[in-house]
């Protein structure tokens, strides 16, 4: 019985150890940001967002224009 208990405990503790190691070495994209090309991706997304925002501003302007012409007619 005692042997079983001890071996169970040792299994549990070793699993704790392996968990601790895992959290120590969480994979992150450090290398990418340091020397890789993450800035390229940021630039691409910034261009997409900027383009959509300019599109929104254009739509807004067009609606204002139509609003004006409609109110002039009435």
Site string for other proteins, 10-29 (x = CB under 8 A): ------------xx--xxxx
Please name the residues in contact with 32: beta carbons below 8 A apart, sequence gap of 6 or more.
Answer: 38
Shortest Cβ 17–other proteins spacing (Å): 15
d(CA 12, CA 19): 11
Quickly list H helices, the chain.
2-24, 30-35, 38-73
- Binding interface with other proteins (CB under 8 A): 22-23, 26-29, 33, 38-39, 41-42, 45-46, 49-50, 53, 56-57, 59-60, 63, 66-67, 70-71, 73-74
């Amino acid at each position: 019985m005692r042997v079983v208990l001890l071996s169970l405990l040792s299994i549990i503790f070793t699993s704790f150890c392996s968990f601790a190691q895992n959290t120590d070495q969480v994979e992150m994209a450090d290398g990418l940001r340091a020397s890789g090309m993450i800035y390229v991706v940021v630039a691409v997304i910034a261009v997409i967002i900027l383009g959509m925002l300019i599109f929104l501003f254009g739509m807004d302007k067009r609606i204002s224009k139509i609003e004006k012409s409609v109110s002039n007619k009435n």
